[in-house]
Amino acid sequence: MWVRCAAVPRSSPFVITLSPAEEAELRRRAGKYTLPYFQVQRAKMILYAAEGMPHHEIAACLDTRREVVSLWRKRFFADRLSGLEQHARPGRPRTFPPRSRRSG
């Protein structure tokens, strides 16, 4: 029988250090209620990461999964602010309204 062990908090290899301009932009996004929810959440994740919070604490504060925090921290580290934008998704775009495959 396997016993599930408590997750061991690890420090991220992606240390976030913000420039004053990046911090100002992230604070603007985090405090803006008219932006889409995902943009506000991503900005908050990076601000918390810059303060040195570990992934599991950020995830708990923002009611999300640790893996999600890790993903956005890594993307910000690699691409800075542009890394927080939506990327094109693979596959054919959805059509609306869905077309019926049946004739008649």
| Secondary structure of residue 30 in the 3-state scheme | helix
Identify the sign of the CA torsion 30, 70, 19, 22.
negative
Q: Which whole number is the average pLDDT over 5-22?
A: 75
Question: Given pLDDT bands bounded at 50, 70 and 90, which one contains residue 2?
Answer: very low
Domain locations in the chain as residue ranges: 20-84
44: CB partners within 8 A, 6+ apart: 30, 61, 62
Tokens representing residue 8 in the block: 């061991």
Examine the pLDDT at 15 and tell me if it is beyond 70.
yes
Examine the pLDDT at 70 and tell me if it is beyond 60.
yes
pLDDT, position 87: 67
Distance CA 25, CA 28 (A): 5
Question: Given pLDDT bands bounded at 50, 70 and 90, which one contains residue 104?
Answer: low
